A and B are shown apart, each in its own frame.
Chain A
Amino acid sequence: MIVAEQKPLAEIRQMIKGHRKVLLVGCGSCVTVCFAGGAKEVGILASSLRLAAQIDGDDLEVTEETVLRQCEPEFVETLRRKVEDADIVVSLACGVGPQTMVEAFPNARIVPGLNTKFFGRVLGPGVWTETCAGCGNCILHLTGGICPVARCSKSLLNGPCGGSVGGKCEVSPDIKCVWQEIYDHLAVQGKAENLAEIIEEKDWSTAGHGGPRTITRKDLQI
């Protein structure tokens, strides 16, 4: 899933400064699951904004909404009246959400409430980790199903580098050396010798460095 986290309250307050009617729009998908922008987080942010406004004596009216997926124009459309009624909209979705909203409501002022971080998964309560880099050209079959593009600090294809010590990355002792993990995993399967084979340079043209990527499926076009 897409993992995001909420911007600091001060930053959100700065963005909405000078606006009286604020609409918070959460998203019921990835960011709900990672506790960044679901109905509960929208509620907590709304309360925080109200409390802060009360302390500072500001006149602020906060409305809360959450749609199933903010990246879908049809779901966003259901908010039209509330968006038009608001002075500013704070989107608590990944980066796709606010852009979908802007597309739908060109006259509205839409600001992001989250910082979108990465594609990842949950390690345990309250801990998420980056697992996929969306490079567009998957090589997991060569690396024991563990991605060095996303999980090696240098995205090395033929690691480890000299900075791998005791299974840890030299960047930080909190980061596991993914090449150590790849080796250990293959060793358990008895396939460590696979690593003797050099992985050729990767075609990075799919990785988004050449402008936004689009997928067109003629068979699905109506």
Chain B
Amino acid sequence: MLRDNRVVGAAMVVGGGIAGMQAALDLAASGIKVYLVESAPAIGGKMVQFDKTFPTNDCATCIISPKLVEVARNPNITLLAYSDVVGVKGEAGNFQARIRHKARYVDVDRCTGCGSCVEACVLRNRIPSEMNAGLGKRGAAYIPFPQAVPLAATIDPQRCLLLTAGRCNKACAKACTLNAIDFDQREWEEDISVGAIVVAPGFEPFDARLAEEYGFGRFPNVITSIQLERLLSASGPTKGKVVRQSDGQEPKRMAIIQCVGSRDRHHNYCSSVCCMFGTKGAMLAKEHIPGLECSIFMMDVRAHGKGYDAYYQRAKAQGVRYIRCRPSGLKEVPANNNLIVKYQAEDGTIREEEFDLVVLAIGMAPSWSARTLAGALNIGLNEHHFCATTKFAPLETTRPGIFAAGPFVEPMDIAESVTRGSAAAAKCLEIVGKARDTLVASRSYPIEFCQDGEVPRIGVFVCHCGTNIAGVVDVKRVAQYASTLPNVVYADTTLYACAQDTQEILKAAVQEYKLNRLVVSACTPRTHLPLFQETGKEVGLNPYLVEMANIRDQCSWVHSNDPEAATEKAKTLVRMAVARANHLHPLHTHIVPVTQNALVIGGGIAGMNAATALAAQGFGVYLVEQEDRLGGNFRQLHYTVEGYDPQVYLLDLIEQVQSNPRIQVLMGAKVLTTTGFVGNFRSTIQRNGKLEVLEHGATIVAVGGKEAHEDAYLLGQDPRVMTSLDFQVKVAADPESMAGVKNAVFIQCVNYRYCSRICCTTAIQNAMKIRELAPDANIYMLVKDVRTFGFREQYYTKAREAGIIFLRYEEREPQVEIEDGQLAVKAWDAILGEELRLPADLLVLAEAVRPLEGNAALAAALKVPLTEDGFFLEAHTKLRPVDFSAEGVFVCGLAHYPKFAEETIAQAYAAAARATIFLSKPYLEVGGIVSTVEGAKCTACLTCVRACPYQVPRINEGQVAEINPAACHGCGICVSACPAKAIHISHYDDDQLMAKSKVLIGEQA
């Protein structure tokens, strides 16, 4: 690969929310050194405040915490929390960024997050907590939330008595036994060199006080949707109880008002997520409070994402009431602090209803600090004060080498933010990929000394964790007890097992006492096991010979009121850990070579973008296209609502693909079968009647979708009736033909089964085209909900200004008739309360975007799943939006779900970034904790084949199950499912777990 020595093999990611974390993790996994700069004391962004995520109601903390830990653990990511970027010099490939580290007054390297200072702070529980959106309280010394990364305290300089008024007894500093509190700290600046930059500073929730008509801040029982989220959360200020602020009582009637800070005169955009956010809040609140009545006041329900409409239907089925009106204000009933909503019902009557809790679904506003940041980075903003990007370059900011992700670009949901995070990483890799592996940590270790089968020599270290453990548990007694256990040759206590100097003590003990097993009795292996494994590796100890006993989280913290029993429990936990250590085996990984090229299936803009993104990094790409030309659906697009010319973009993209020597375009070809596993796939394709075998390390599915031509409203029977795409093709070919149009009608949601996301905007774009070509035409649009999310809202506004009339038909489907050769549409008008007869020279139908019929066969060949509707189903709706659970296979474009060009392009780049993680390494490490089948015991019952979430086991030619260690994730599900007990998992085998259980019972018995 090219090595340009001026390109810096590092990238900077600004913003540690979900988009930024994803970009950082993808870059780091592809051999790039990452500086992750976060302005707040901890990373995680807005998502850490959420209770659940739509449309699956997954626990938000449960899915984001592992990401936080991953960032914290990653040796290639340097986390610069509580820091800002104040300037960037240089150019793409070689930037110098100036970072200002704010004074935290806590030494992050020393602080273990024990919380002693937080407890001691004299302002404890006196300051509104940002984490709880003002509903809970914190101190001046605080840790934002228990899972915070970095897990370190911060002293709030705006609030601390010492820092603001110079008078405090410094209780926090006295409480800290590590001397981590440092009031002499000052903010300081440093320069870092990076080759590319991802900017993902997120959004600011709209300040609800500005919507004065709703009385937020004046009426205690008016809260924001984020506050509702905190009330719903088990870790929130009320521990999951939804209560009124006025009297602490549970509400019986709750209202949610949508579009607060969106779709108004000051915000000519839709915040995209609030409809689903509100729907989720209503459903969860109903779960928390049986019998709760929930009403949602909305204009359109924007359920435009994958699975969103089904979620909305579920909410309605569960009794959530949707009222189509934006109330003009709220009145408070002084006696009980209830709120009266005055609204216009669908039939035009004015009604008043009383609610005891009102939730404002606040929109996404551009953040003020991001405007400062944009200045520092010298990148442009758009008219809404979000980041300026263009339709066909949705990741590029106005400054080359700086890429944007997340809701800084446009209001977007978590899945889209994660996609953009990966996509921006791919853009960076096009620049810094040349300098891959030049700055990342690579370490060499001494040869491992312990052979399997040697008599165990166990060393036990019992951690004080300051006073966290030792304050409750008698650690000396625990260590003494440990020394009496089988094969324990060394046992001692340590003040902080995780401290840097302790690692030297551990290493010395391993060498002096010839320890071949290490048991660290301290905190959680979730965060700390890798550290102790690393220490072991440095003196030749196999990492699988290190075991932990969690005597903090599972003992001292939960039994602080009973030190004696806690000490006994700690002894038991240590005894169990030692018992398992006696049964541990060293495990080894081996390497398998990776075929460093990719197969991209589908030559539309999704496939072509994925191909160019990978080729730009130097990887070979087979681009397989079923038709005999590139471009897919995009060939039929001739204008966009924003005024771009799609064909100019398309021709340029095709030229890039065809002229790139690393991309081999295979036209008229179809993938028949794929075998192998990540890094080593072999696919058979059929081309011109001949079979060819391609070897590739990763696969990207970009087969696209198609506009349906399903039977409806005389489509195919009358030339005046056409689909959106047909219309566009016709207009492009013969604009004159529109000049004579006097009456045009659009019908949306034809043959509706799920929301196709793009039809509303597309119809508006087509209607505006008619307006342009036939200025006097009457244009009617028959709609259910208008789902012009994000900045597309402004075109909906323009369309109404241009006299396009929107009629809502909901349940009453329009009828089409021909009388004396005149085509007409009969539609119900709710406001007039009567049926209208609309003559139509032109009837444009919004038919659905459907998946391809061939998807089922391709999905079977690739061993990946489809949704009920026939689209490809990603591994996780929110956090793995372009991955499949089968490793090394990715999806983008319409194959995943209907989407706009800019979303397709971003998703294609995201798929490329995810594929790069595997393609960027010449070898993959396999082995370690994996499952193996004992063939003689296997009855080929297929249980493992069916149970594995990653489609790894298969029944081989010998009629027994086989698990490929390179593909196995080591989750152990097959092991527990196997009825013949024919499957084992290394490191968690029966004897190891039974040994723990036995000593647990043995002591009690």
Contact = CB atoms under 8 A, between A and B. Distances in A.
A41 interface: yes
Contacts of A29: 939
Given A28-B939, A39-B937, A33 B946 contact: no
B807 interface: no
Nearest to B939: A32
B592 interface: no
Contacts of A40: 978-981
A35 B979 contact: yes
Contacts of A32: 939, 941, 979-980
Nearest to A29: B939
A125 interface: yes
A43 B981 CA distance: 9
B947 interface: yes
Given A28-B939, A33-B939, A33-B941, A38 B979 contact: yes
B946 A39 contact: no
A48 B982 CA distance: 21
Interface string B963-1000: 00000000000000011111000000000000000000
A28 B937 contact: yes
B941 A39 contact: no
Interface string A145-185: 00000000000000000000000000000000000000000
Interface in B791-835: none
Contacts of B981: 38-40, 43
A125 B941 contact: no
Interface string B341-376: 000000000000000000000000000000000000
B660 to A, nearest CB: 47
Contacts, number: 32
A197 to B, nearest CB: 35
Contacts of B939: 28-29, 32-33, 38
Contacts of A125: 946-947
Contacts of B982: 39
A29 B979 CA distance: 10
Contacts of A35: 979
Interface in B909-960: 937, 939, 941-943, 946-947
B947 A33 contact: no
A39 B980 contact: yes
Interface string A8-45: 00000000000000000000110011010011110100
A125 B948 CA distance: 12
Most interface-central of A28, A41, A66 (chain B CB within 10 A): A28
Contacts of B980: 28, 32, 38-40, 66
Contacts of B946: 125
Nearest to B979: A38
Nearest to A68: B939
A39 B979 contact: yes
A185 B809 CA distance: 38
Most interface-central of B939, B947, B979, B980 (chain A CB within 10 A): B979
A66 B980 CA distance: 9
A40 B974 CA distance: 13
A40 B941 CA distance: 13
A28 B940 CA distance: 10
Interface of A: 28-29, 32-33, 35, 38-41, 43, 66, 125
16 contacts: A28-B980, A29-B939, A32-B939, A32-B979, A33-B939, A33-B941, A33-B942, A38-B980, A39-B979, A39-B980, A40-B978, A40-B979, A40-B981, A66-B980, A125-B946, A125-B947
Interface of B: 937, 939, 941-943, 946-947, 978-982
- Closest 4 pairs (CB-CB, A-B): A33-B941, A38-B979, A39-B981, A32-B979
Given A33-B943, A40-B978, A41-B979, 15 more contacts: A28-B980, A32-B939, A32-B941, A32-B979, A32-B980, A33-B941, A33-B942, A33-B979, A38-B981, A39-B980, A40-B980, A40-B981, A43-B981, A66-B980, A125-B947
